[in-house]
């Protein structure tokens, strides 16, 4: 399978899945007061945010399997930077008061 088709499918179906989760969260919040905290909507938004990172990971695996080590190395560096940013961001959020 070509990389472009693989990535297009990932982004298409990932976007649909995230949109459905967000829509379900809003629907549940509208119908039932127990779901007013919007956790499901937050999960859907997180899915949208993680899609580009997952895209880089798919590229890393694809290039490594096709022995294109220059591109795999580049994808690995980008993936490492993204994951490091997420870890720092989460650790900073955990330490914030309130």
Q: Do residues 27 and 8 lie in contact, with contact meaning Cβ atoms separated by under 8 Å?
A: no
Element (H or E) spanning 49, and its range? helix 39-65
Query: Where do the structural domains in the chain lie, given as residue ranges?
Result: 3-95
Question: Has residue 98 got a pLDDT over 70?
Answer: no
pLDDT for 41 equals 93
pTM beyond 0.85, yes or no? no
Separation CA 85–CA 80 (nearest Å): 8
**Is the per-residue pLDDT at 96 higher than 70?**
no
Q: Please tell me the distance from the alpha carbon of residue 17 to that of residue 10, in angstroms, as a whole number.
A: 10
Q: What is the mean pLDDT of the chain?
A: 92
Measured CA to CA in angstroms, residue 50 lies from 9, 54, 68 at distances of 15, 6, 25
Residue 52 pLDDT: 95
């Amino acid at each position: 399978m070509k990389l472009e088709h693989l990535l297009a499918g990932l982004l298409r179906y990932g976007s649909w899945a995230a949109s459905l989760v967000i829509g379900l969260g809003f629907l549940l919040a509208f119908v039932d007061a127990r779901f007013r905290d919007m956790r499901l909507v937050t999960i859907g938004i997180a899915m949208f945010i993680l899609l580009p990172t997952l895209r880089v990971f798919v590229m890393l695996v694809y290039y490594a399997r096709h022995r294109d080590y220059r591109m795999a190395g580049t994808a690995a560096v980008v993936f490492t930077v993204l994951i490091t940013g997420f870890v720092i961001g989460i650790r900073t959020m955990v330490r914030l008061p309130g």
